Chain A
Amino acid sequence: MRAAMRDDLPFPRTEVGKETEAYNFAYLDEQTKRMIRRAILKAIAIPGYQVPFASREMPMPYGWGTGGVQVTAAVLGPDDVLKVIDQGSDDTTNAVSIRRFFAKTAGVATTTKTREATLIQTRHRIPEEPLRDGQILVYQVPIPEPLRFLEPRETETRKLHALADYGLMHVKLYEDIARHGHIATTYAYPVEVAGRYVMDPSPTPKFDNPKMDMCAALQLFGAGREKRIYAVPPHTRVRSLDFEDHPFRIQTFKQPCALCGAEGGYLDEVVLDDRGGRMFVCSDTDFCEERRAAGHRGAMAADGDAAGETR
């Protein structure tokens, strides 16, 4: 059925239900989506390069993922299966409302399962389960310019990118080591894409940086307020910047997930009470649930799924 709908593009609104009829498919008008797709194609052609685009007003405030939502709207097809995560979680307000937004305006199927999704919009995490060919990961980006910290002038940062003049990026890392004895940047850790452009991977933990390298999925980045789109095509080298004597390292956790017992995943700290009780659990809720469904148990997991409900 959905394949048939494709033929009706650009006006496929007939089959998505009564409520949806007030909107064009995926909310944005076709001209806008075409404009955004052109920006995306350019971004894919020049990995890591920030392509300006005419960001639209969206029915949500800046900072809530307007860039990611526009990119998703532009690439979403009727037969896509959408997953939305916020800090790894499928059920935070932000994730739920974006998922509902597209269910309502595009009528697409949604899921919380990484494996089932064809398109994943994310805020600040990359799923633990390796992505595969054909999947698209859309990042919400607040500040796309990795050099902004040291160079406030846009004209100058553009020139620095054009000349691959990235000494400044290392000044930032130098400052980290000078102040903390190690590179203390743990989020939005700058990467070099395909040996050329330096890119801000959005505020994902640096733990996720290695997943970007040679990733099978297409990675798209949208910054709504800053009006920039950039991309990492599938199977592209993504290298985290570092010093020879202070090589890039990801965070490690002393204990496994308290719920599913997973080791080597990215954990969130959950405060349990006001007496200092706390637990560390997978930030990727889908990953954690899948493991528990497969019978894995962590130290604090009650029988069944009781502990999971505290989240």
Chain B
Amino acid sequence: MSAGQPPNPWLSWTYVEHNWGDITTALSRHTTLTIQAVLLAMALAFPLALLARARPRLAGPVLGLSGALYTVPSLALFAILAPFTGIGRTTVLIGLVAYALLVLVRNILVGLQGVDPDVLDAARGLGYGPTRMLLAVELPNALPTIVAGVRLATVSTVALVTVGVVVGYGGLGQLMFRGFRSGYRAEVMTSSLLCLALALVFDLALVLLGRALMPWARRRVAA
């Protein structure tokens, strides 16, 4: 860097102070978009996974379709959606839900299929009906796989939100892009670090939630 240029540090507290409003707006958009997408995807994934399990003939197409959609790049998906759903939040949300849905359906289905048949047999012997079987036996047994899927979906969603920049709604990606455009290192670095931190916080929260939901898993480790 030549002597005449102003300093352009990677980290700068002045940047954070001066852009506090933009940073918090981007962070809160990023956070709410992620939570909304994962919750919506879960609400859709459970019935789909149950349907695929109830009709094994549907399981193949459901998993195959999810695999095929997975190879569609996020930029392409947003580009295909944008002409119909417009520029902005809705397009990003639909794309995010689609990707998260794939991971979740797959993991819920695999989790449910992985339940020990002897356990199901024992529950049936105890007189459990289908609903009670699902809620009291199958779901708790499938929970580790489901939680793993939710973690994977959440962390990838946090990263995917940034691609929303192409339709003008990328959360922290918006700041990354603006920093790139203006050659402002502190802006690029701050938003990248925040994005990584956000993924980490979500992941830790889900690990703790998983532990709270599965006290038996912890006891087994302790024993």
A interacts with B: no
